[in-house]
Amino acid sequence: MVLFQKPDNNRFRSFVYKYLRFQSSIYARVVYIIAILSFFLFIAYGTIFNSVYGEYLDTVIRQRGNDIGSIIESSLYYSMLKNDNTALQSTLDIINTISGVDQVNLYDYENELVYSSFFSDTLRHSDPDCISCHTDFGDMFPQKEKAYRIIDYKSACEMSENSDGHRQLLIRSPILNERSCYTASCHYHGPEEEVLGSLIIKVPLESLDTAVSKSSAEFFLLASLITFILVSILIFLTNRKIRRPLSAIISASEAVSKGDRNRRLEINPNLLDDMRMVSQAFNNMLDNLDAANKELENWSHQLEYKVQKKSEELSDIQNELIHIERIASLGKLSSSVAHELNNPLSSILTYTKLVSKKISRMELDAGLSAALEKHLKMIEMETKRCGEIVKGLMDFSRKGQEDFKNVPLHKVLKQTYELVEHRMKMANIHFYTDFDAQNDLVFCNENQIKQVCVALLVNASEAVSENGEILMRTSNPDKEYIKLDIVDNGVGISPEDIPHIFQPFFSAKQKASGIGLGLAIVHGIVQSHQGRVDVESEPGKGTTISVVLPLVKD
């Protein structure tokens, strides 16, 4: 029993949950509103029917009573005028056989029954003598006007005992003393009398009530059918136009909340404007969310790529810093080595001179003496050149912390030429100079300017191939500046790389020999001298790097 009870409880709970969920939905509210409005519409139908049809029924009843009363009054008029009781009673008997009339009773001016179409031996009868139970009969109806009263089987009046349960129309018509009455020879009424009596007619309303009941039943059946059809149509339309689109929106929302970003609402041309707007807004929202998610994914991928690139750059920077430190250490070592080389070179130069003096004092063959002197001069010259090279290395390796001073730029350029000339010859590069500037006095740090020139010449030598050409020239673009051009016919620089060549660790060299710091250092040194660096290059044709420095004003 427990095993069969659980599903029932679950089924009941599921039913209650669905009912409560339906009751709290918009569609349920719409259905309730339609039901309430339909109920009030049905009540309005009944009220309008009762009001209109009731007035129409009263009009029909009065018209029917007037017609029957007029007929009966016309039938009895001649008999009453002649005071012919036999003819009057005969006419009443004939009238009693008519299906449209139940009774016709004639009363005198004191409301006492005079004639009646009622037979006393009728099994079912009513008492036509009204004053026997209605002492205020004279007050019940107006004296001089025709009056109507509807009675039924529930009425206290005994005249309804033979009504067979249907309603009856009671018509009381006063018999007025007309001129034809008081001037007739058979009448004894005087002209001063106004009311001679009254005529009470009972007209059955069974057929009319039956027709009314049938019409009412048909009307209410038709009203119920129309209301039902109207409610069904409204519920069908609201289900199709409201409930289904709302259910689709809810279903799509739940799907999106679960991660289905490809879900979209189908927009039919028959949708209501509000539903269409909501559906379009929902689809637009999903499109925007999808675009935003794709953009975020792209940004995420780009960020990952940039982080990876930056990590690689940082790794390269770390390696370059290690390399720079190694170069700095090598510079210190070469400086100390160059300093140590100065002593043996000085000794070689000194002993060369001593040997030359001794040979001059010795009595040797003239040819041999000349040859020995020539060799000694060569040793002296080469020793001095080694000393100059060592001196240049020592100067270049010193830190440029000295104060600025006025220096002829051509002097620095010549020293630089001597420093890199051997490198150019070893690389089989044609190295030229053209110092055409008239004014070359600049306020600078001599060692730093030399460093700039060496860096630019080294870059140029790495850009050209064997038998390439490098030109170092000067000119005065105006009276305030001197311009140094380093021109090569190497591979050149691509236009997209030119804006970045002065950035640290950027290198446009095809070979991996550069560390990407040379031009950045050059740019910093030139800026510290209030100058600028310009670059003109065309891939495959060469590069011209210009250093413009201000001249010392007179």
How is 490-553 classified by DSSP, letter by letter?
SS---TTTGGGTTSTT----SSTT--S-HHHHHHHHHHHTT-EEEEEEETTTEEEEEEEEEBPP
The CA radius of gyration of the chain, in Å to the nearest whole number, is: 68
Interatomic CA distance for residues 94 and 327, integer angstroms: 151
- DSSP state, residue 148: E
What pLDDT sits at residue 136?
60
Q: Is the pLDDT of residue 124 over 60?
A: no
pLDDT one-digit tens code per residue, 484-533: 999 999 888 888 888 777 766 666 665 444 444 567 778 888 988 999 99
Predicted local confidence at residue 443, as pLDDT? 93
Q: Which two tokens stand for residue 157?
A: 């009046």
Amino acid at 434: D
Can you tell me whether residue 221 is helix, strand or coil? helix
432 by DSSP, 3-state: which? strand
Confidence of residue 118 (pLDDT cuts 50, 70, 90): low
Question: Is the pLDDT score of 544 beyond 90?
Answer: yes
Q: Write out the two tokens for 50.
A: 């009762």
Residue 480 confidence (pLDDT) above 90: yes
> Is 162 or 253 the better-scoring residue by pLDDT?
253
The SS3 call for residue 88 is helix
Buried b (16+ CB within 10 A) or exposed e, 518-554: bbbebbebbeebebebeeebeeeebbbbbbbbebeee
* C-alpha to C-alpha distance for 211 and 205, rounded to whole angstroms: 10
Q: Is the pLDDT of residue 16 over 90?
A: no
Q: What is the pLDDT of residue 381?
A: 78
Query: Per mean pLDDT, which of 58-62, 112-116, 502-506, 538-542 is the most reliable?
Result: 538-542
Q: Distance between CA 476 and CA 441 in Å, rounded?
A: 11
Amino acid residing at 339: H
pLDDT for 321-380, tens place per residue? 666 666 566 566 666 776 677 778 788 888 888 888 888 778 777 787 788 888 888 888
Region 229-237 average pLDDT: 80
Residue 318: predicted pLDDT: 73
Tokens 């659980």 appear where? Answer: 6
Task: pLDDT band for 233, please (50, 70, 90 cuts).
Answer: confident
- Residue 2: predicted pLDDT: 44
Kindly state the average pLDDT of the residues 383-409. Answer: 70
pLDDT for the residue numbered 246: 76
Query: How much is the pLDDT for 398?
Result: 60
pLDDT in tens, 237-284: 777 777 777 777 777 788 877 777 777 777 777 777 777 787 888 888
Overall average pLDDT of the 432-453 stretch? 90
Q: What is the pLDDT of residues 18-30, one digit of tens each?
A: 555 555 566 677 7
Percentage of the chain exceeding pLDDT 70: 71
pLDDT of residue 516: 47
Confidence tier at 543 by pLDDT (50, 70, 90): very high
Task: Provide the edge-to-edge strand list for the sheet that holds 430-435.
Answer: 430-435, 469-478, 481-488, 542-550, 532-538
Give residue-wise pLDDT tens across range 128-149: 666 666 666 666 677 677 777 7
Mean pLDDT for all residues in the chain: 75
Q: Whole-prediction pTM value?
A: 0.38
**Res. 541: pLDDT tops 80:** yes
Q: Who wins on pLDDT, 402 or 318?
A: 318
Burial (0-12, 13-18, 19+ Cβ within 10 Å), 331: middle
In sequence order, the 6+-apart residues with CB closer than 8 A to the CB of 22 are: 28
CB 93 within 8 A of CB 117: yes
Q: Are 404 and 445 a contacting pair, CB within 8 Å?
A: yes
Pairwise pLDDT comparison (5 vs 38), residue with the higher score: 38
Give the per-residue pLDDT at 326.
63
